[in-house]
Chain A
Amino acid sequence: MTDAAIEYQACERQILYLRATGLMRDELEDPVLERMDWLWPRMDPDEQEAARARARSFADAQDDAVIRDRSVEVGGHGLPREEAA
């Protein structure tokens, strides 16, 4: 794997983490996206295709239902989470 592909995946993880945790802000995301643009032509075609496939799978997964937690008191029953309607 090229150094560019390794760094590209690190950038992907950073973006995904920011989105998952709700910490995404333009000033945090833009420098990472610019770095990914710079890295892209330095990756092999196979690495680029793998990155496209990852992007597609994550985009598809965004449609999954969100799970939310629920309050459970000591002495109560049921798991502390429920599927969103």
Chain B
Amino acid sequence: MLVSVQRVRAPGHAIGLNTFIYSHGDVAWPTASAEAFRLSATLVQAWHEIPGGGNVVLSYLDLVAPDGTGRGRLLDILRESLDAITRAGGPLPVAGCDGLDYALKWQIVPTLLLQWVHEVKELMRRVVLP
């Protein structure tokens, strides 16, 4: 599964968080978890606060894990990832090491960097509460 959450700004300046859940289907999980971002995935659910298309993406978080990963495991993954991101002091290209059953990446526009802790927590909250 791939969960993608992104904060977007519409041309009229409305801002909102959109959440997307994709399914990988019956595929083998790669040894290097970050490779899972390359797996084909089908969108199965979407929640929009702002209609998609042409908006500026202010921040986003992508989390990949095997299909069927439960909410409890997702919460553990988010806690582990937040710890890793906090230790690193900011945005990471990818959090998650080879052999793990997940990988996570997130980005934020430079002008919001000073608020990255608040932002990454908001994005993570939407992973489990879209």
A79 interface contact, C-beta 8 A = yes
A80 touches B54 (CB 8 A): no
Measured CB to CB, the residues of A under 8 A from B are 9, 12-13, 16-17, 19-23, 57-58, 61-62, 64, 66-77, 79-81
A68 engages B110 (CB within 8 Å): no
Residues of A within 8 A of B60 (CB): 67, 81
The number of residue pairs between A and B whose CB atoms lie closer than 8 Å in the complex comes to 87
Contact A68–B54 (Cβ < 8 Å):
yes
Bound CA span A13–B114, Å: 6
A80 adjacent to B112 (CB under 8 Å): no
Any A CB within 8 A of the CB of B81: no
The answer on a CB contact under 8 Å between B46 and A69 is no
Scoring B44, B53, B57, B62 by chain A CB atoms within 10 A of each residue's CB, the highest score goes to: B57
Q: Report the count of interface residues on B (CB-CB < 8 A).
A: 33
Give the complex CA separation of A51 and B121 in angstroms: 26
The verdict on A76 contacting B42 (CB below 8 Å), with A64-B110, A70-B53, A81-B60 known, is yes
Chain B interface residues toward A at CB < 8 A:
4, 6, 8-9, 13, 15, 18, 20, 40-46, 51-58, 60, 62, 107, 109-115
Describe B's contact surface by its main secondary structure.
Answer: strand
In the complex with contacts A17-B115, A20-B112, A21-B9, A71-B53 CB distance below 8 A? yes
Pull 19 A–B residue pairs with CB atoms less than 8 Å apart, ordered by A: A9-B114, A13-B115, A16-B112, A20-B9, A20-B58, A21-B58, A58-B111, A62-B111, A64-B110, A67-B57, A68-B55, A68-B56, A69-B18, A69-B54, A70-B52, A72-B20, A74-B43, A74-B45, A80-B6
Q: Are B52 and A72 in contact (CB under 8 A)?
A: yes
Chain B's nearest CB lies how many Å from the CB of A40? 18
CA–CA, A68 to B18, complex, Å? 13
B113 to chain A, nearest CB (A): 8
Tell me if A67 and B43 are in contact (CB < 8 A): no
Name the distance in Å between A85's Cβ and chain B's nearest Cβ: 13
